[in-house]
Amino acid sequence: MPSIRAIAIGLSLFLLANPLRAVETPAKSKIVAVDLFKNGLAVVKREVTLGKPGVYVLDDVPHPIHGTYWIESAGAVETLVQMRDVEVPANETTPGNLQEDLAGKKVTLYFKGDKRAPVVGTMMKFTPAKPGEVIAQSKYLVVQTAKGRTYVDSSEVASVESEDDGAKVKRRQPRLVLTLADTEKAETRVAIRYMTHGLSWAASYKIDITDPKTLALEQHAVIKNELAELEGAEVRLISGYPSVQFAHVQSLLSPGTTLAGFFQQLSGGGWRIPDFASNSITTQQVMMNSSSQGGAYNVSLGAIPTGEGVDLHYQPIGKRTLKEGDTLALTVAKGKSEYERIVEWLVPDTRNEYGVNDGRGRGNDDEDAPWDALKFKNPLSFPMTTGSALVTANGAFNGQRTTYWVNAGEETVLRVGKALSVRTRSLENELQAKDGSGRDLIWVGGRQFRKSTVEGELAVSNHRKESVQMVIRRRFSGELVRADGSPKSSLREEGVFSINKRNELVWALALKAGEEQKLKYTYSVLVPY
């Protein structure tokens, strides 16, 4: 028999060769806070309390995106993610590979039919595949019997008995190992923060216009949890348009991430928002945020200051308990605001950047048609985020459209539905030059252009039994010569690099019941010759 001294030396060598396993202490972490974006990303905060310096093992392994994992602690903490063979209750996991589940256990294999005797032996254990290594699934079960190694075709096996009680099976699972350096504190609270996928929220608004002068606005939120169980976690809803350049890249700390996969994701460029709807632009605006006012007329630049730093708004909704797979719907805020009903008609620019009339904008469902709209200021103490807006009156549905980012106190216009009883017509004609040639040629930047004069007419008639406040917006490319009614003229940003200026004329007028009005305007435009 080996001496006690030899056993002690052997044990010391084992402890030196396995320093981590020798002093490991199981620990549990808990999600204490989550901040939710509207694009499926969330910032998660986990907390775990560690005791004396040493090594702690956690079952809860995060799946962070690249560059977002960090630890906050009074003491120095190192992180290790390891794949380990872990015994788990058999009734809490689905049956896996028999070779792995019964490895090292004595088994009896019974075959289909009654012509072949059962095989009795020990199920062999094999070294797990390395990360990223692909091994073809074998159809054989390998059993060590008294005669040697026996290969059994698994398709011929009718049943398998194991002398083990079958209460537990082994599974290869990731574990989070935290190493706490020397500290004088009896306890050290560690906060683990990271950004990951699996939690999201969607914003929506209900706008009641039963009162003809004051609307009632409610902001709703629907939260979907596909990440993990939340128990009394502080939840905040984030509004804004954040830059998350590596949202498509899994961190190397994420279990299952290989170097090949990491570098492939890293070279894939910036994050592309998935096209969950037929209109990817609308999808992007709703999932993130857009400050585009769309058809907004005469939007006020005045707003109530609400914060400092980057334009991200965090809206707390308190502590929440949600199981994985749960969906929560709640009212976030309410407010009231004075409003004005208008009929907005946007006549799009039909010319491209070279001044050529290519009919663009025509046929678009949202363009070149009058819309009933609401003009109001955001009554909430924080920004309205991009989302769906449902308009009702006296309990009846009026319409649903997308509302965009609106700062607190800022004015916006929300379209409700097409104004079918307000008829509109727009016409344009190119005028001939005085000499009848129609050619007024000029050179710009070494290129010859033809300067044309265009005369247009806008006609609108009110077929309703009530007066309407009409807002007409005519977009065009070129230089304004004259216009009826003294409209407000402004330059559009997209025309900065065009040979022709991009302009917008805005008329505000009241139309009595049954009244018709016509507005004429003239502009010049340069067209390649």
> How many whole angstroms separate alpha carbon 100 and alpha carbon 123?
9
Burial 130-168 (b: 16+ CB within 10 A, else e): eeeeeeeeeeebbbeeeeeebebeeeebeebeeeeeeeb
> What are the structure tokens assigned to 409, written together?
């106190």
- At 101 the pLDDT is 79
Question: How many residues does this entry show for the chain?
Answer: 529
Q: Where are the beta strands (DSSP E) in 272-326?
A: 312-322
Name the amino acid, one letter, at 416.
V
- At 15 the pLDDT is 43
265 sits in which H/E element: helix 259-266
Domains defined for the chain, CATH in brackets: 103-163 (2.30.30.520), 198-242+288-418 (no CATH), 422-528 (2.60.40)
For β-strands 441-444 and 447-462, DSSP reports them as antiparallel
> How many whole angstroms separate alpha carbon 218 and alpha carbon 205?
6
Q: Find out whether 221 and 237 touch, Cβ atoms under 8 Å.
A: yes
Instruction: From first to last of the 529 residues of the chain, give the pLDDT tens digit.
Output: 455 444 444 444 444 444 445 479 999 999 999 999 999 999 999 999 999 999 999 999 999 999 999 999 999 999 999 998 887 776 666 667 787 778 888 999 999 987 889 999 998 988 776 665 666 678 899 999 998 999 999 889 988 888 766 577 777 889 999 999 988 888 999 999 999 999 999 999 999 999 999 999 999 999 999 999 999 999 999 998 888 999 999 999 999 899 999 999 998 754 444 433 334 334 445 555 555 444 444 445 455 555 555 688 999 999 999 999 999 999 999 999 999 999 999 999 988 878 888 766 555 556 688 999 999 999 999 999 999 999 999 999 999 999 999 999 999 999 999 999 999 999 999 887 655 555 677 877 778 888 899 999 999 999 999 999 999 999 999 999 999 999 999 988 776 677 888 999 999 999 999 999 999 999 999 988 8
- At 445 the pLDDT is 72
- At 76 the pLDDT is 93
Count CB-CB contacts under 10 A for residue 512.
12
- At 81 the pLDDT is 95
> What are the structure tokens assigned to 168, written together?
């537990």
Q: Find out whether 137 and 129 touch, Cβ atoms under 8 Å.
A: no
- At 364 the pLDDT is 56
- At 437 the pLDDT is 53
> How many whole angstroms separate alpha carbon 234 and alpha carbon 356?
56
- At 299 the pLDDT is 46
- Evaluate if pTM is beyond 0.85: no
Q: Find out whether 315 and 332 touch, Cβ atoms under 8 Å.
A: yes
> How many whole angstroms separate alpha carbon 58 and alpha carbon 76?
17
Quick one: which of 360, 358, 355 has its CA closest to 448? 355
> How many whole angstroms separate alpha carbon 215 and alpha carbon 255?
51
Helices (H), 382-525: none
Q: Please give the full DSSP string across 366-387, using - where no structure is assigned.
A: TSSSEEEEEEEE--SSSPBPSE
